[in-house]
Amino acid sequence: MYWYKIPARNLTLMVCSCLLFSNCKPVVSHDGRPPYFDLKAYFTAEAQRLGKQQRLILKTVNYNNQPEEKDVAIKNWQRELALFTESDINKPSWRDSYKKTANNDSIVYRAVDTNLNTRYISIHLKAKQVSGIRIVNFTKNLLYQTKENLSYYPDSLYKIEKHQSVKILGANNYEITGKFK
């Protein structure tokens, strides 16, 4: 995303949202592990791993149906995957806010409280390793409404779809897709 310029008014809303939701500390269970899948730790490790690989990405940015595509070498994976990391649900006040459903090949978290930003997380597993993650975030207040669909498939693809409607300013749609080469 670093090569694509987002209009300043939308960037301001995104930064304010990030600051608002990032001040909570993670909750830890009695055995020292977070009660939910640790998205923050997972994507921090992925960012470090991908930073060492220095692979080219075919990146497509589509802003309001105006696509732009190019090959890029991502220099800051931490920033590139920030929306995934910020979707972490291990906050003390959210301890009982998600219903967990798990089986051998997936873990699904659904928000019990509809006021929470992160509404849905689905983690797909293959041989006990993460093969895919899907996240749905939704925020609504008096000024704007935002829905994000985030998808990540290690060493294959990541996708960020964001639909934002701001009173007075109107609607904007973003779609960022990165395909690993």
Average pLDDT value for residue range 83-97: 91
Question: Higher model confidence: residue 123 or residue 128?
Answer: 123
CA dist 31 and 83 (Å) reads 28
pLDDT at 5: 53
| pLDDT exceeds cutoff 60 at 170 | yes
pLDDT digits (tens, 9 = 90+) for 10-51: 544 444 444 444 444 444 444 557 788 999 999 999 999 999
Q: What pLDDT does 54 receive?
A: 87
Q: Which pLDDT does position 6 carry in this prediction?
A: 53
8 A C-beta contact, residue 110 and residue 42:
no
Q: Which residue has the higher pLDDT, 105 or 27?
A: 105
| Under 8 Å between Cβ of 39 and 81 | no
Q: What is the pLDDT of residue 7?
A: 54
Mean pLDDT, to the nearest integer, of 70-85?
95
Per-residue pLDDT, averaged over 91-116, amounts to 92
pLDDT band at 91 (very low <50, low <70, confident <90, very high): confident
- In this prediction, residue 119 carries a pLDDT of 97
* pLDDT at 20 (0 to 100): 42
pLDDT of residue 13: 47
Mean pLDDT of the chain: 86
pLDDT of 84 above 80: yes
